Amino acid sequence: MTELRTYLFDLDGTLVDSLQDLTTAINELRTDLDLAPLTLATVRGYVGDGATMLVRRALPAGTFSGNLLQDFLDRYRRHLLDHTRPYADIPAFLDSLQGAPMGVVTNKPLDMAEEVLRGLGLRPYFGTVIGGDSCAEKKPHSAPVRQALAELGSEAATAIMIGDHRTDLIAGRSAGTRTCFCAWGFGISDGNPYDYLAATPIELLRLFPGSRP
């Protein structure tokens, strides 16, 4: 098997735990609509396919609108870094990969992804960040992964997409990369195949020890 040289990561549920802040923004929106708050566990099941799908899932059928989406985004921006933090052992893993091309491929809007990464001191690790509005298509389409590879000057055959959701597995495989499913995150594999499984972040260090380009 070709040696891995390039590492692409999902953001929410993979590198950082943003669930509390997402839930806060969703519940503020619901409160204004006279709806009961949702639990963390419920919102966890709605994350992974971008802000539009999150808001659609969190509101009653037929109530979604562009204005409500913008309202959610405005609220979430105010809470972006209240509780969001890197998962334990993620900084150590990124340290171990320094020198290798790395990128973030997320369905989160690009400006918010950049703000989270900068605010948590993670941005210097990554040569590129692809957001949910960086391409015409979001994950699970392969376009964001292919765009990240192009910007890093990397080949799919030597790259891996690391994420916690079926969208990451589908996008990576469709783009020709290997994939690693992160079982600690928000999402599910939904039966999609993957090349590696990490139950906890520290297992990434075991799976890809001291990796270098």
pLDDT tens per residue, range 109-167: 999 999 999 999 999 999 999 999 999 999 999 999 999 999 999 999 999 999 999 99
- The rounded distance, in Å, linking the Cα atoms of 100 and 93 is 12
Domain ranges of the chain: 6-17+85-207, 19-78
CATH architecture entry for 19-78? Orthogonal Bundle (1.10)
What is the pTM for the complete model shown? 0.94
Is-same-fold flag (6-17+85-207; 19-78)?
no
CATH architecture entry for 6-17+85-207? 3-Layer(aba) Sandwich (3.40)
Q: How confident is residue 212, by pLDDT bands cut at 50, 70 and 90?
A: very low
CA atoms within 13 A on the CB side of 110: 11
Tokens standing for residue 110 = 């690009």
Place of tokens 């999902």: 10
- The catalytically annotated residue of 10, 12, 17, 21 is 10
Q: Residue 86, preceding bond cis, omega within 30 degrees?
A: no
Task: Average the pLDDT over 48-69 and give the result.
Answer: 94
Place of tokens 């392969």: 142
Is 74 a known active-site residue? no
